[in-house]
Amino acid sequence: MTGIVAQNVGRTSGLIKSAGGGGGVWTKIKEITASSDSDISFVDGTDDVVLDSTYPIYVFKFINLHPSNDDVKIGFQGSTDTGSSYGVTLTSTVFLAYHDESDSGTALTQSTTRDEAQSSSFQDIIDDLGNDNDQSASGELWLFSPSSTTYVKHWVSTIQIYNSGNNSVIFKTGGYFNTTSAIDAIQFKCTEGSGGAGNIDAGKIKLYGLGDS
Amino acid sequence: MSGIIAQNSGRHTGLVKASSGGGGVWNLIKTYTASSDSDLSFVDGTDGVDFTAYDEFVFKFSDIHPSNASTRFSFNGSIDAGSNYNVTKTTTMFIAGHIEDDSDALLTYQTGDDLAQSTSFQDLAAYGESETANDGCLAGTLHLFGLSDTTFVKHFIARTNYMAAGGPYSVDSYTAGYFNTTSAIDAIQFKFSSNNIDAGTISLYGIS
């Protein structure tokens, strides 16, 4: 490459050479930094958020989510009415592995108390998160074809947690929104905790779209 | 938008407007190719590595092949730019395995390979030692979050698949945990528990 294209390689503003190979690019759509928020929502058409047929796959990345309260669950739900309500019927599985810092307990187990069966509740993707100053959770959630009006909408998540009992926990969920309506908004919030659900005090949630053309 | 930028919206050839969100790109930072190396280290400030530049880093492992039997692929972090690799960690590890002759299959937590507040290297391949047959190797990914943060611990999530000795087995290995430090992690080292990394590549990406 020569000229201005070469000069702009790696830039995040101005003109750049488009990705070769016909796409497959991760496009960062939106980044939200939590600051004592009761919830964080990504709504199609609001604040530059795209959550429609533009991309077949969407990925949320969680960087050091930190709650105001201790022993907190953080869940997510979808909306079919651009965020007016979050209560789509879903069925899910949850399994996790944990190991405590004192080496006294480990497990790899399916959690039948944290999964959902045709429920409109928020699906927990983080459990027992601690609120010590250095405690947090990081990971990702993949959402497939949310705009489809033919199929249900699958997701998978993997999140690593420093929990309130000083355990390292890898928490995995998978499931589907059991609707053929398009999902056009996603909300995250603390659903339960010691002394109440509380807020997401700190951390980042980033939304990416994965292109296929 | 107007003019050629608008005309090129959504295109994947020619000139387009850069992402206003500042990326979304897997930025390849550095690839090391092993050649009978005792270890491969990625050190902040060396060879273009900058562990402060992104919230998430991903290592990709391809064709990692040990020089000798009875050894396991592992990693550790450093908070002193690679002078020492001994950061305290608490981790989990579980695997799914299947032997080539179809006589055994398993899904199990690996209590002998996790760590509890340990400064040891963390295995990324736990069920038996890596197979040293010429075609035996390991592939996978390691995600690390917020390495330069000085408030929170540093979480990581890894998944590898490798050919394990004793069968051989195909082993799908899941490792996760945190460096239990609020100091910035500024170097990551990979090595086998004994002997050398005979061949293979490790690539470091930053996710913007």
Q: Under a CB-based contact definition with an 8 Å cutoff, are residues A92 and A178 in contact?
A: no
State the Cα–Cα distance between residues A32 and B12, nearest whole angstrom.
Answer: 27
Q: Under a CB-based contact definition with an 8 Å cutoff, are residues B158 and B37 in contact?
A: no
Chain-chain contact of B18 with A11 (C-beta, under 8 angstroms): yes
Residues of B in contact with A101 (CB under 8 A): 90, 116-117, 180
Q: So where are chain A's domains?
A: 29-210
Per 3-state DSSP, chain A is made up of helix, strand and coil in percentages (nearest 5) of 0, 55, 45
What's the one-letter identity of residue B156?
A: F
Enter the CATH code of domain A29-210: 2.60.120
Task: List, in sequence order, every residue forming a beta bridge with A73; answer none if it has no partner.
Answer: A192
- CB neighbour burial string for B144-180, b if at least 16 within 10 angstroms, e if fewer: bbbbbbeebbbbbbbbbbbbbbebbbebbbbbbbbbb
Kindly report, residue by residue over B5-52, the tens digit of the pLDDT.
444 444 445 555 555 444 568 899 999 999 999 999 999 999 999 999
DSSP label at residue A205 = E
Q: Considering only CA atoms, which of A122, A117, A124, A51 is closest in space to residue A81?
A: A51
State the Cα–Cα distance between residues B204 and B141, nearest whole angstrom.
Answer: 10
pLDDT in tens, chain B (208 residues): 344 444 444 444 555 555 544 456 889 999 999 999 999 999 999 999 999 999 999 999 999 998 887 789 999 999 999 999 999 999 999 999 999 999 999 999 999 999 999 999 999 987 666 666 788 889 999 999 999 999 999 999 999 999 888 888 999 999 999 999 999 999 999 999 988 999 999 999 999 9
Q: Considering only CA atoms, which of A121, A116, A156 is closest in space to residue A139?
A: A156
B113, two tokens:
């390979």
ipTM: 0.86
Cβ contacts of B183 within 8 Å, gap of 6 or more? B79, B150
Among candidates A15, A27, A138 on the partner chain, residue whose Cβ is nearest the Cβ of B155: A138
Among candidates A18, A102, A138 on the partner chain, residue whose Cβ is nearest the Cβ of B14: A18
End-to-end CA distance of chain B: 24
Does an H or E element contain B4, and which? helix B3-7
10 Å Cβ neighbour count for A169? 25
Å between A151 CA and nearest CA of chain B = 26
Cβ contacts of B95 within 8 Å, gap of 6 or more? B106, B107, B108, B110, B126, B127, B171, B172, B173, B174
In terms of DSSP bridges, do strands B154-164 and B169-179 run parallel, antiparallel, or are they unpaired? antiparallel
- The more confidently predicted of residues A111 and A16 is A111
Chain-chain contact of B155 with A101 (C-beta, under 8 angstroms): no
Best mutation target among B57, B144, B153 (most A Cβ atoms within 10 Å) is B153
B15 inside 8 A of chain A by CB? yes
What's the one-letter identity of residue B193?
A: S
End-to-end CA distance of chain A: 23
Given a cut of 90, whether residue A17 has pLDDT beyond it is no
State the Cα–Cα distance between residues B5 and B122, nearest whole angstrom.
Answer: 48
Q: How far is CA A120 from CA A175, A208, B128, B165, in A?
A: 13, 25, 44, 47
What's the one-letter identity of residue A111?
A: S
HEC string for A141-174: EEEECCCCCCCCEEEEEEEEEEECCCEEEEEEEE
Q: How far is CA A101 from CA A163, B67, B94, B179, in A?
A: 11, 34, 17, 12
Q: How far is CA A18 from CA A6, B10, B33, in A?
A: 12, 9, 29
B6 inside 8 A of chain A by CB? no
Chain-chain contact of A15 with B16 (C-beta, under 8 angstroms): yes
Residues of B in contact with A22 (CB under 8 A): 12
DSSP label at residue B118 = B
Q: Under a CB-based contact definition with an 8 Å cutoff, are residues A100 and A165 in contact?
A: yes
10 Å Cβ neighbour count for A211? 18
Of the pLDDT bands very low, low, confident and very high (cuts 50, 70, 90), residue A21 is very low
Kindly report, residue by residue over A72-91, the tens digit of the pLDDT.
999 999 999 999 999 999 99
Query: What pLDDT is attached to residue B75?
Result: 98
Alpha helices in chain A (DSSP H): 3-7
Q: Under a CB-based contact definition with an 8 Å cutoff, are residues A141 and A125 in contact?
A: yes
Query: What pLDDT is attached to residue A12?
Result: 47
